[in-house]
Amino acid sequence: MSEQWHDEAMEWPNRRIKTTTGVLMDFVVDEVTTPAGGTMIRNYLDHPNSVGIIAYDDQGRVAVERQYRHPVRRKLVEAPAGLCDHSGEDTLEAARRELAEELGLAARQWSILADAYATPGCSTQACRVFLARGLSPVPRPAGFTLDDEEADMSIGWAQVDDLVDEIYAGTIMNPTIIIGVLALKTALLTGGLEQLREI
């Protein structure tokens, strides 16, 4: 039997040295004790979890957004995505909310394409990427308004193969859409759409 390669939960002994509270996340400094008995200092963001949605229509297209991201000083091609509003929020509920808020869409069928840590060396943020199918228009949730970067966001549709080409060309760099589109393309090539994890 071949070796099983999968992540495992683990926590080395540590003590919090400092926490700096931010707007959406906190910056923390921990002293961590290694299995060999040494210590190391690690800085990272204590960040809320998030969701991403690959909204896939009956014409083989994926909904895309173009949104300004200040840290990288670029307007990135992205999938609809957002933070879980509180630590225990169900990821599917968060995904439904984000799809309605950003695109004015609802989906009849939801599957899980992938789970990923955004940047595990410097952030606690985990992201669940969903596949949404059976799309239909819905009103944006009551009281929701597009603010800040979202107010300048443009929305469109792209063929899966065109997005794959852009990913391999290095012209799409947002990790959520990269993970989601490549997982979708793999499922389409292998006939695995119906084998995705259902909700």
Q: Residues 150, 166, 194, 198: which is the catalytic one?
A: 150
Q: What is the DSSP string of the chain?
A: -PPP---------EEEEEEEE-SSSEEEEEEEE-TTS-EEEEEEEE---EEEEEEB-TTSEEEEEEEEEGGGTEEEEE-SEEE-SSTT--HHHHHHHHHHHHHSEEEEEEEEEEEEES-TTTB--EEEEEEEEEEEE-PPPTT----HHHHT-EEEEEEHHHHHHHHHHT----HHHHHHHHHHHHHHHHT-GGGSEE-
150 catalytic? Reply is yes
Show which residues are catalytic. Answer: 150
